Every structure is written in C-alpha cells, then in structure tokens.
Amino acid sequence: MFSYNDLQVIDVVARRGSFSAAAEELHKVPSAISYTVRLIEERLAVDLFVRLHRQVQLTPAGEYFVEEARDLIKRMEQIKSQTQRVANGWSQSVSVALDTVVRESRVNTLVRDFYREFPDVELHLSMEVYNGVWDALAGGRADVVIGATAAVPVSGSFDYRDMGSLNWKFVVAPDHPLAVAEYDIEPEELVKYPGICIEDTSRVLPKRITWVMDNQRRLMVPNWYSAIQCLKAGLGIGVVPEHMALPRIVAGELVEKQLATKLAASPCCLAWNKESRNPAIDWLLEYLGDSEQLHREWMR
C-alpha cells in the first residue's frame, strides 16, 4: 500500500515541519514532496497535515500514521540488513544444547560474551540429558552441543572436540543406612534402596540410564538439582558428577561411599553440525577453546 519512499517522505516532512525543508533533505523539489503527501492522504482518505503559510503540522491522524510509519521503516531496514547478513553466511540465531552435567555457572559468561560480539544474533540455549544432547544435534534442534557424554550415537555431517572425562561420585545422605558403611558396597546391598536417576530427554534416539542396579527401583527426576535434593533428603542413592558432588560432600550435606564395582569415567565432547557453520558458530567454537580449556571451564 505504501512504499519505503512514501513512508520516508512522511517521516521527513513531520520531522522538518515543511515541504521545502523535507525536499532539501531528500534532494527533491518541493512540488514532488507535496504531490507524494497528497497521494498518500487520498489513499487513506484522511488529512495527515494541516497546511499553514510556510509550514505544516500533523493532525491527530497524522501523528498516529507517522509513529506507525517509523516502526515500519525500522523493520524494513532490519529486514534488508539481516537478508544481507544471511547472504554472507550469517544467521539470525545459534542454538546450543548443553548436557546437564556441565557447570551451569559458565553459561552466564558465555551468553554475555556472545551478545557482546553478536548483538543482532539470537542465542538459543537448551538443557538436555544424556542422549537428548545427541538427539538435539541430529534432529536440527541444536547447532552446537556442549558436554555430550558417551560414544557418538548418530551419523552424519558432525564433528567433535574432546572435553576430557567426567568423574562420578557415589553419595548418600548423612543419615542414610549406607552412610556408616566402612567397606566397598556390593550391588546386592545397593539394590535395596531406590536409585535416583535423571530422565533422558531424547525424543528419537534410545534413552540412556547411567547408573542403576538390576531389579532396583528407580526415582526419576528431571535434572541434577532435583536429584541432589532427593539424595540430601535420603530418598534414595545415586551417582553425581564430581564437580557437583564435592561441594556438598565438603559441606557435610552428602557422604561419599566406595563401591565394590568402581565407577567408570564418562568421556565428554563438544560437537557441532558442520553443515550449519557460519561466522557466529565459528566464533563460538574458537571461544570455547581446546580440549584442556573445555575440561577446565565446563567439567570441573
């Protein structure tokens, strides 16, 4: 209904207060400005300006139209800029899935630094559990995943970077019956108590459970915060990532016990879709650093 030029003319006339001043700014003759304004008013069937001797003033309808026109101009300029960025390999958003085993305190710094570098690119974060991370990457819900555990269960155009191994601690509440055990606890004794497990968030790939005995009752929870609260309350037993367990052990909120069957460390990695690379993702992969930096900042 209105071109970018139409909206720009109305904006400049309203801002400068006369056809001649608007013509000077837009490098046109006053008659062309006046003609454009009259055509727009005819389309709207309202007067946008009151014509005075050498000036014009906005009518109430004109004030409303100018406000809306300026919003449209801004939006049109954003579309133009974003389209050019996409053509040059930029994206409107970057999606990052984080396994819940990573240090959440590191996320705030990541977000702050990303938006400082890319103020016009949206960062979409999601927290996933176990195969949910790989599922997000394979399903296109994530461009990059941080802290993915176990072997890569998907095939495709993906690459990865080692993040080192995640160690686990078997813990119970201080008043739990197993808290007084001074020996390596056998599986037959563990099975007597509910195993606190986190629900795998995978939608398509098979779901995983990291630690539970055969024939042991499970208490399924959505995240590590809930798991730790249940452990502290003595509602069950379970294993917790070392960097989450140690502060609670030091504070006396949880007690670490030794198992007859030793807990294996879990290899972790940073992974990404090679086909979705763009400048923002390239920056992110460089920012996250090498294997040593990834392990130090996200897994300890």
pLDDT digits (tens, 9 = 90+) for 195-237: 999 999 999 888 887 788 888 999 999 999 999 999 999 999 9
pLDDT in tens, 229-260: 999 999 999 999 999 999 999 999 999 999 99
pLDDT band at 151 (very low <50, low <70, confident <90, very high): low
Q: Hey, where are the domains in the chain?
A: 4-87, 93-165+267-298, 168-264
pLDDT band at 89 (very low <50, low <70, confident <90, very high): low
Residues recorded for the chain: 300
Q: Which of 262, 238, 220 is nearest to 173 (CA)?
A: 238
Instruction: Supply the Cα-derived Rg of the chain in whole angstroms.
Output: 30
Residue 88 has pLDDT above 80, yes or no: no
pLDDT band at 157 (very low <50, low <70, confident <90, very high): confident
Q: Which CATH class is domain 93-165+267-298?
A: alpha beta
pLDDT in tens, 165-179: 999 999 999 999 999
Tokens of 243: 């960097």
Q: How far is CA 293 from CA 21, 125, 265, 277, 290, in A?
A: 59, 21, 19, 22, 5
CA distance 224 to 212: 16
pLDDT in tens, 39-83: 999 999 999 999 998 899 999 999 999 999 999 999 998 888 777
Calculate the CA dihedral of residues 186, 192, 197, 202 and round it to 10 degrees.
Answer: 90
CA distance 297 to 163: 10
pLDDT value of residue 218:
92
The CATH number given to 4-87 is 1.10.10.10
pLDDT value of residue 145:
95
pLDDT value of residue 173:
97
Secondary element (H or E) of residue 50 = strand 49-51
Residue-averaged pLDDT of the chain: 91
pLDDT value of residue 237:
97
Fold of 168-264: D-Maltodextrin-Binding Protein; domain 2 (3.40.190)
CA distance 267 to 14: 64
Conformational region of residue 58, where left means phi above 0, alpha means psi within -120 to 50, and beta covers everything else: beta
Instruction: List helix spans (H) across the chain.
Output: 4-16, 19-26, 30-44, 60-87, 105-117, 131-138, 187-190, 224-232, 242-250, 279-288, 291-298
Domain 4-87 shares a fold with domain 93-165+267-298: no
pLDDT in tens, 278-290: 888 999 999 999 9
pTM, rounded to two decimals: 0.69
Amino acid at 16: R
pLDDT value of residue 149:
82
CA distance 186 to 235: 19
pLDDT band at 104 (very low <50, low <70, confident <90, very high): confident
How many CB atoms are closer than 10 A to CB 265? 12
Please classify residue 204 by burial: count the beta carbons closer than 10 Å to its beta carbon, then call 0-12 exposed, 13-18 middle and 19+ buried. exposed
Residue 126 has pLDDT above 90, yes or no: yes
